[in-house]
Amino acid sequence: MNAHTKKVSKIKRLTALSVLIAILAPTLVTATVILTYQYNVSSSYATPYLFLSTGENYNTANTLGLIYANTQTFTSGSSSFTYIPSGTVEVDLSDGAYSEYLLNVLAVYNISSGLKGPVYAYINATSIPSGVTVYISTAPLIFNGNTVTTTTGANVITLTTSTSPVSSNAIQITTSSTTTPVLYIGFEISSSTPYTPATAPTSFILSVQFSVQ
């Protein structure tokens, strides 16, 4: 085979390869299956199962003009529940008092028994003014004449004066009930000067967060 014949043969092989690629390329594209589905995603209000509500001592304190929260109600099954949506909770000081304790005025409920994973609550506060303490526990809060404790000896978490955000850390919620709170919340407003009445504190932000895992 002379040089001319070798060159023609090489060109033929290249041509054949090019033709083969040209034939296979469309086959690969047409073999790809593309399916498209579209859905209209809408939004509406869902029934809350973890929520902040008024506590067992709220009505008494509210009658005395010491606390007020804008509440709403919803129905789940045959039961009606009261909850506090995001907004303002007003805690007032009795004029002339050296200290004031409002215990179990707020509460957290978990009315869902179907949650399979761990549930945690975080109580956070920002810019707590001087003289104010927030108490949190898994059992009802009581005052023993000296300090705030609980009816069962359960741990009491305190959030105190701070200009930066403070947090309760994770509080695991292990029970659910439509009638019994899983967390009890209270407030203390006290004077730092002996024999001097406490002063009405400035407002601060209290947030309740839930983590369902």
d(CA 201, CA 92): 9
Burial, 2: exposed, middle or buried (Cβ in 10 Å; 0-12, 13-18, 19+)? exposed
Beta bridge partners of 58: none
- Per-residue pLDDT, 30: 63
Q: Where are the beta strands (DSSP E) in 55-153?
A: 67-69, 72-76, 79-83, 89-91, 99-110, 119-126, 132-137, 141-143, 148-150
Could you tell me if 121 and 212 are in contact, meaning their C-beta atoms sit under 8 angstroms apart?
no
Q: Is the pLDDT of residue 74 over 60?
A: yes
Confidence band, pLDDT 50/70/90 cuts, at residue 3: low
Q: In this predicted model, what pLDDT tens digit does every residue of 10-43 receive, in sequence order?
A: 545 544 444 444 545 555 556 578 889 999 999 9
The phi, psi pair for 151, rounded to 5°, reads -70, -20
pTM for the structure as a whole: 0.81
Q: How far are the Cα atoms of 21, 47, 79, 123, 181 from residue 177, in angstroms, in the given order? A: 69, 15, 12, 20, 7
